[in-house]
Structure formats: structure tokens, C-alpha cells
Chains A and B, each alone.
Chain A
Amino acid sequence: MRTVAVVGASLAGLSAARALRGQGYDGRLVVIGEEAHRPYDRPPLSKEFLSGTLGEAELALETDGEDLRAEWLLGVRATHLDTTPLPGGTVHLSDGRSVRADGVVIATGAAPRTLPGSTGLAGVHTLRTLDDARALRDELALGGRLVVIGGGFIGAEVAATASGLGLDVTVVEAAPTPLAGPLGETMGALVSALHTDHGVRLWCGVGVKGLGGEARVDAVLLEDGRSVPADIVVVGVGAGPCVEWLEGSGLRLDDGVVCGADGRTDLAGVVAVGDCAAWWDPRTGAHRRVEHWTGARERPAAAVAALLTGGAVAPGVPRAPYFWSDQYGVRVQFAGHAAGADSVTVEAGTPEGRDVLAVYRSAGRPVAVLGMNQPRLFTRWRKQLA
């Protein structure tokens, strides 16, 4: 292999570039990224960076003096992947250039969903990039009433950070229980009760009809006719994979690039990693897109091994998906799959104490574990997940 192109210059792309060099790849390495910034860490954007306790320099993912001998093409978007001839393909770029590579790593991540009709209204934010976070941080500094649409993890973290900064915060969630998808209803309700503990209003089971205001947002209009006054609105209704540029490439796209258990796609010399990739999960017997930091950091090593050897190495079973979230000073950790569980039991701590360690089981076997401020016990249980 003489040229490898990594498309997407964030956590998964950087991890892939590192794995390439770490596994002895010595050829040309081109890293393409739409953002002008060097790779930076996103989790602090809704937490320490938003609250002002961490500066931009500390977000950098590269270490001082790190040199991957890569050509960085930043501030330029991949617009199309031409996969003839295989292996690999030609990546066409928004500035008219193109890169022919015999290995392609797709690491374009995900982009936030927006509300129809909310664009162009001042005071309305989504949060994915450093530029988004700067804009939101500057507005939060002015104070006022914040309405967060969506009670998922990012919405919850923004609500927690903003309430810590002294804003008046309301969270609106369409589902009857926030976080029911990842955590199940009981534990979703338990974790999202952190909002009310801290004086943040949580309105569940009501959809958003639209936003009020002329040039600037002044309210969130609900489907039941009510309206919530707002000076700032954050839309946190999930993210979709950035794969539209791959249409027509011959890759299978279905909520992300469809991949095997080692990140290989159906096309020779093309692998996908991170938030844009739906890997085959041998545990659940389905393709699944995992939008968590740890997967974006760990899995590229397996994908790169598959790329460099043409899949000669049998993929190991990756660790169960893991994520953390910091809200209202509580460290929430979760690993595994809640969906397949038939029971959830609290093994330590109490719901009232917000220090629960809960284990999800399927036919008696632990399949997932949730911890709130229980890092040691959580780590032990996480180890036992098959």
C-alpha cells in the first residue's frame, strides 16, 4: 500500500493515522478534514469548555511534538469517493483537488440534526464543533432563559453546565422518559431526575412544534399549544452520520457506512471508523453505529489492521460499547447493551443518593452496567460483561 487517505480529521481519523504509523505503515498518509482546526476533543465542549474551566489549547488531541508524517489537508471537504479502480479510490475535494489512494479510511463522524424551520433565527444553537461551542459559550455568558430541546446526553450536559453558570434552564423532551433508548425507562428516569434535583425544569412527553421570534428566538412552541419563553435555545435531538458524500460510491449506507466486525466495508481497501460507521456487532447480531468517544478511539486500530492485511487477521470481539457523561457534578458511566436486557437491578447505592450501580441482565447474564459516581464498582462490573 503506497497511499492511504483518511477522511475526517477528528478522534477516529487521528486514531487511524496513529494506528497506521504504529502498525508500521510507511507510505504516504493524507488526512483530510473539513474543519480548519487540528484534531480536538469534543466531550469537553458541553462540559469544561462550555463552563470556561478548560481552554482551547487543552482540547488538542495531538501531543506536543507528535509527528505522524502526514499531509494535512484541513478546511477542505471530501465531496465524492470514486471507487474505480479498487482497491481504495479517489477522494474528490471541495477545492477541486483529488487524492488517489489505495487505502481509504472513512472517519467523517456525525452532524447534529436540526429542527425544520429553525435556521436563520439568532439564539438557536446546535453543539458539535469547536466553533459551535464558542458561539454558545459567548451567548450563555450573557445569561437569561435557556431552553434545551432534547433530553439526551448532550442536551443534559448543556443544561447542567448552563444551570451551573446561573441560567434559568428548561429541558423539553418528546419521549415520556429521557434516555430511555440507551438506558431503559427506569434508569433513564433516574439519571434524568438530576435535572429536577438542580432546579432545572424537565418537560417530558411533549413534542416541539416550532420556534417563536422574528430575527431572534423568543420562545419554544409546543405541540400541546403551550409555549416556553426562551432567550437561547439549544437543539439536542441527536446526530446523523456524515455519509452523504459517499452516495454513488458503491458503499452500502444504512444509518452509517455498513461494515464488518473489523471496520471493513464491502469494497476492497475501504474501511470506516467512528461515529459514521455501523460495525457488525457479534454480541447483538446486528450492525450498529456507536456514537461514543471510546469506540472512536479504540476501534480504528482493528480497522487499520484489517486494511493493511486485507482482512487476513480475524477480528477479535471488541469491548462492549462504553460511554461516560458528566452532569451536575455526577459522573455517569455506562457499558454494554441495555436493549436486550430482561431485568435491571440496583447492586449498590440508592436512587435517592444518586450513586446507583445498576446491572442489566439477560437470562441471568450481565449485558450492561450503569454507574453514577461509582467508578470502582463500575469498572469491575464492566470487566465482567461478556
Chain B
Amino acid sequence: MMIPACRLADLPRGEALRLDIDPPVSVFHTDDGELYAIDDTCTHQDASLADGWLEGCEVECPLHASKFDLRTGAVDAPPAKHPVRTHEVVVADGVIHVRLSAEAPRLPPCVASRLAGGPA
């Protein structure tokens, strides 16, 4: 599925945009001008990676500092143990689009159990 995010001109370098879909996805515009999209929720706990610390091709979780590679979704060190999903980014007519991955998301246990228990 292709989801329009925002105009490229509206997402400055060094910024991230969270798409409030379920589960949320975030688009990152790195300082080098690259665009990446990953699942927004950290795999450790309920934290938004769009709120995190962007450096090069990595985002550091704003809560407990696990770092995720925006290109692969890989995580560097605990407390997070699992990678996040990555999604393809396409820019068409000046608008950023995200092509959602077909993989199953990796949600942290607290979020997964809340979803399993129905909407909180």
C-alpha cells in the first residue's frame, strides 16, 4: 500500500514526521538529504522513534537509547532486542510516499498486549 506522507518541501533535513496509521510509521529526512521510513514504535517499549535523536542513518530511541539503523531497521544494543520494519519511500511530484512493508510489525510487549486486549 502506498501512503502519501507530506510534501518533500515540508520535511526539512534532520526532521521526522510521524504518520498516525496503525501501527504508526515515521519518515526521516537525514542531514545528508536521504529519506527513510520505519515503524515509529520502538520494539522495547512504547516510545516514538520520531521523537528520537537522528544522527547520520541512525535514530536513537528517546527513552532508553537503543539505536536503530534507518536503512535496515537493525538495532545496536539493548534494551531493545528486535529490529523495526523498514518501508520503501518514493517521492512523486514533490510528495513523499511510503510503501508499507508486507512483513508483520514488531511491537513492544506492552503495546502488543494492549492491542490484543482490544482498544484501551
Listed in ascending order, the chain A residues whose CB lies under 8 Å from chain B are 18, 41, 48, 53-54, 58, 61, 63-64, 293-294, 297-298, 322, 324, 331, 333, 375-376, 378-379, 382-383
Contacts and interface: CB of A to CB of B under 8 A. Distances in A.
A376 B110 contact: no
A61 B79 contact: yes
Contacts of A293: 64
A374 B78 CA distance: 23
Ranked 7 nearest A-B pairs via Cβ: A376-B51, A375-B51, A375-B62, A379-B62, A63-B81, A379-B53, A61-B78
B23 to A, nearest CB: 17
Contact of A376 (B62, B64, B79): B62
B115 interface: no
A331 B81 contact: no
B64 A294 contact: yes
Contacts of B65: 294, 297-298, 322
Contact of B78 (A63, A376, A382): A63
Contacts of B47: 375
Contact of B109 (A58, A333, A382): A58
Nearest to A378: B62
Given A63-B78, A293-B64, A331-B63, A53 B53 contact: no
15 contacts: A41-B78, A41-B79, A48-B110, A53-B110, A58-B109, A294-B64, A294-B65, A297-B65, A297-B77, A322-B65, A324-B64, A375-B48, A375-B62, A376-B50, A376-B51
Interface residues of B, number: 17
A9 to B, nearest CB: 15
A324 B50 contact: no
A54 B52 CA distance: 24
Contacts of A63: 78, 81
B62 A383 contact: no
B14 to A, nearest CB: 10
Contacts of A48: 110
A294 B65 CA distance: 8
Interface hub of B77, B78, B109, B110 (most chain A Cβ within 10 A):
B78
Nearest to A15: B77
A324 B81 CA distance: 19
Contacts of B51: 375-376, 379
A53 B113 CA distance: 9
Contact of B53 (A297, A331, A383): A383
A114 B9 CA distance: 59
Contacts of A41: 78-79
A32 B76 CA distance: 25
Contacts of B79: 41, 61
Contacts of A379: 51-53, 62
A48 B111 CA distance: 12
Nearest to A39: B78
Contacts of B64: 293-294, 324
A331 B113 CA distance: 20
A362 B75 CA distance: 36
Nearest to A324: B63
Contacts of B53: 379, 382-383
A137 B13 CA distance: 47
Interface in B45-78: 47-48, 50-53, 62-65, 77-78
Nearest to B53: A379
B99 to A, nearest CB: 26
Contacts of B113: 53
A54 B110 contact: yes
A344 to B, nearest CB: 21
